Amino acid sequence: MPSRRSVLAAGAGVTAALAVGGTARADDGRPAALLSRMTPAEKVGQLFVARVYGHSATEPDRADADANRAELGVRTAAELVAKYRVGGIIYFSWAHNTRDPRQIAELSDGIQRAALGQPGGVPVLISTDQEHGIVCRIGGPATLFPGAMALGAGGDPADARALGRIAGLELRAMGVRQNYSPVADVNVNPANPVIGVRSFGSDPEAVAALVAEEVRGYQEAGVAATAKHFPGHGDTAVDSHTGFPVITHTREVWERLDAAPFRAAIAAGVDAIMTGHLLVPALDDSGDPATLSRPVITGILRERLGYDGVVVTDALGMAGVRTRYGDDRVPVLALKAGVDQLLDPPDLALAHGAVLKAVADGELTEERLDASVLRILRLKEKLGLLAEPYADPGAVGRVVGRPGHAAEADRIAARTTTLLVNEGPLLPLSPRAYPRLLVLGADPASPSGTTGPPTTVLADALTALGFTASALSTGTDPSAGTIERAVTAAGAADAVVVATYNVTAASPQRTLVERLTATGRPVVVVAVRNPYDVALLPSVPAFLAAYSWTDVELRAAARVIAGAAGPRGRLPVPVPRADDPARVLYPLGHGLTY
């Protein structure tokens, strides 16, 4: 235990640190005491949120151990924590961290045992990207909800709060205390390749209301919500994973459009905000991405918007943050800009050493370092990590995937399916009039939480509703031969349901739908990602937007097709004309009913 004198000395150091970027609090005693005992290397470790391979903290599969050695210089998660004293670890399905809920809880507990087994050990803040919809790192039996744009179509902020509360309870049960959600970007660009349906929509006030309630839901459950990607990634045609987006909004447009959801998140008490690797010249004309921009992070987010919570970078291996500087400079510049957590650097040893050297050389003062570490420790205390860092693997099954949680997901999904076209009207289909259905189309790579390809899930759901439905996967880029086989198969069906995925003007999916429509068989299109597909498919008699291909949204679409439920969703984004994008084909709020 530290002496009273050491705690008081720590308090003086904390006061100096806060002068650099924060506000002193009466309850800083425990975080300040922890901070006072840390070496500079331990403080630097607290800033990093690292990836690690494997389902176990101490006994990963051989391939995962080899990947850890190659990328991190350690064999296991436990060794990672011991070597770098990292403040956080992020879970990915591709890193084999998320096999099933009990395993996740055991991995979390193994990481915490490793952290607390070090001298002066501090619990690790474990995080993941569980946005729901098309981005989920943890699949079933965890409860999977409709994604953000689907919730935008539903239009009820209470649904966003329910999602956050239930998903948060399940994450916490698995030892995950921080979620990189909700997406606070306002998607106003139909060509956006990376946000799209991950956004609640194009109306900044509607997005703000949903963001605020999802934040409240997660944090009521004891999980830190993270609003992303500041200062707003919604009007880009470049993916910051692979390029460097530039947003040409004026300062006035940014204030009206992009800032509103982040202001709402801050007002709701959001625990963390993630930066975007993008350039907004109206906010900072230096050419630096927002993640490395002091005018954006400190000047706007900290000072203008008054945010004093944790700021985390987007992943530092993304191209958008690596265009001007090397991987040794990026973390240092991010800290100088005002961020606190450095997420998933491509070379942890290089990044950790660079930050430690910057502190030793005086480029980063220890007071600046302390300000960020204190924010991180405050968050850990708020989340209960300092008092009780462990999950309970034996209790996971009583929380994760409870029937009541699944029923709530289905209830929310029932609000979201949006009917854009219904000539005749064709929908709803009756099993008596159309007993044999062929379900075909795109089967994009399934996000965690799907039980099978979308065509199969949709066919099974329709069969359960009284049809005889068969599935035929034609993919996102069907060949001429595949299209011919689909047209032939349609001849034996009474109606055809086609799943489309990001149709373009030259897409063979478009040819497939046109050929099927020409057969004279009734065709129902279900867009399983972007609703903008409808603009390129003018001949279809019925068109539904599902906004994702997870089971819960496909089941909701099936109920609408069968008339077991009416379509209740309204477009949360306008759909422009394909031949003249400046003109609107279907306006914000459009949605048919029956």
CA angle, 290 as apex, 286 and 296 as ends, to 5°? 80
Tally the residues of the chain: 594
Q: How far apart are CA 268 and CA 33, in angstroms?
A: 29
132 part of the active site: no
Q: Out of 185, 314, 340, 443, which one is annotated catalytic?
A: 314
314 part of the active site: yes
Task: Provide the 3-class DSSP secondary structure of residue 325.
Answer: coil
Cβ–Cβ under 8 Å, residues 233 and 185: yes
Residue 471 has phi, psi (to 5 degrees) of: -110, 140
Cβ–Cβ under 8 Å, residues 539 and 421: no
Q: Which two tokens stand for residue 140?
A: 């079933």
CA contacts within 13 A on the Cβ side of 192: 25
**Across 17-66, where does the E strand assignment appear?**
48-50
Cβ–Cβ under 8 Å, residues 236 and 194: yes
Number of H helices and E strands in the chain, helices first, is 21, 18
First-to-final CA distance of the chain: 68
Task: Provide the 3-class DSSP secondary structure of residue 281.
Answer: coil
Q: Which two tokens stand for residue 228?
A: 């992303």
Q: How far apart are CA 46 and CA 31, in angstroms?
A: 12
Q: Helices 551-562 and 403-413: crossing angle, nearest 10°? A: 50
β 418-422/88-91 pair status: unpaired
Q: How far apart are CA 371 and CA 375, in angstroms?
A: 6
Cβ–Cβ under 8 Å, residues 389 and 38: no
Q: How many CB atoms lie within 10 A of CB 533?
A: 28
Q: Out of 100, 156, 239, 241, which one is annotated catalytic?
A: 241
Residue 222 is classified by DSSP as T
C-alpha distances (whole Å) from 349 to each of 317, 345, 369 are 14, 9, 18
- Residues with catalytic roles: 241, 314
